[in-house]
Amino acid sequence: MKPLVSFVGTSGCGKTTLIVKVISELKSRGYRVSTVKHDGHDFQMDKEGKDTWRHKNAGADAVIISNKRKFALVSDVDEEKSIFELIKYLPETTDIIIAEGFKQELQNKIEVFRSDFSTNLQCSNDPNLIAVATDMPENEQLHNLKTLDLNNANEIVDYIVEKLLT
């Protein structure tokens, strides 16, 4: 299985912002990155009125849209897919998978723990928690946990590379 790390944390704590920086830094170092995002709501990938939306709205169980640069799949499921089921759809050429969410599953996790957004560490008892990206390393909840500077994407990527890619 490809190296996989999921960024988890409370809503609004900056997971997506951090992930974008991490992806950019990994790409600048030559890694091929794929991502998977968990959504707790009924996301809408297509715009109302567009062809694929019309296909799905008419009752298609699955719709694929494709061109020479990319493709996307929207499919009904009987139950939510695990992260391990979803990553099977990613390209074989992927060097590392970055996920957002999936805090209940059994993959490596970095929790984003930001002042003014995070009060309780979400994954403190999770053996898959490999680090906490934070702007408050002195917080007592982080005692005995590996902490990374939330505002230093290079440091976070260095840690990911050392821990998962070497």
The 10s digit of each residue's pLDDT in 113-148 is: 999 999 999 999 999 999 999 999 999 999 999 999
pLDDT in tens, 70-87: 888 889 899 999 999 999
Q: What's the pLDDT tens digit per position in 54-73?
A: 998 899 999 988 899 988 88
**Long-range contacts: 79-86, Cβ < 8 Å, 24+?**
83/4, 83/6, 83/36, 83/38, 83/107, 84/1, 86/36
CA-based nearest residue to 110, from 21, 8, 4, 2: 8
Q: What is the DSSP letter of 127?
A: T
| Stated pTM of the model | 0.90
Kindly report, residue by residue over 4-16, the tens digit of the pLDDT.
999 999 999 999 9
> Domains in the chain and their CATH numbers?
4-41+80-165 (3.40.50.300)
Express each pLDDT in 18-52 by its tens digit: 999 999 999 999 999 999 998 765 666 778 888 98
